[in-house]
Amino acid sequence: AGRAFCAGADMGDLDTISGAGTDSGGDTDVTKLVGERHPYFVTQLRKPLIAAINGACAGIGLTQALMCDIRFAAAGAKFTTAFSRRGLIAEYGISWILPRIVGWSAAQDLLLSGRTFYAE
């Protein structure tokens, strides 16, 4: 699985989206940051998708893992939603998939607090 599953989007690229330092006023296409496909596409695959999670799994990386059919996490794997700590909305489908996996109360806790939790 490598040293980290996915530590999330490159936060240095947020200036591109926000329009900071440009005349675009934030009209940059978000697909330039996260790619052409929304993580939801994995739910449409015809074969099971398995996530082997090691190290950091944060933000959009956590969303990608949640969209998988089966998730295996190594001891010491670290998870966080991270969006609220960055002043961002919970996006890319995490606010839809997370409550369906962990329940509404736990999802609200994780999405609003942005706390880190571990595989153990």
Q: Is the pLDDT of residue 54 over 60?
A: yes
Is there a domain that residue 6 lies in? no
Is there a domain that residue 2 lies in? no
Burial of 66 (0-12, 13-18, 19+ CB in 10 A): buried
Q: Which of 19-23, 41-45, 112-116 has the lowest mean pLDDT?
A: 19-23
Q: What pLDDT, on a 0 to 100 scale, did the predictor assign at position 50? A: 92
Distance CA 39, CA 42 (A): 6
Model's pTM, two decimal places?
0.69
Query: What value does the mean pLDDT take over residues 27-48?
Result: 64
CA atoms within 13 A on the CB side of 89: 5
CATH number of the domain to which 76 belongs: 3.90.226.10
Is there a domain that residue 82 lies in? yes
Q: Which helix (H) or strand (E) segment is 105 a member of?
A: helix 104-113
Is there a domain that residue 110 lies in? yes
Number of domains composing the chain? 1
How many Cβ atoms are within 10 Å of 10's Cβ, its own excluded? Answer: 10
User: Which domain covers residue 16, as residue numbers?
Assistant: 11-115
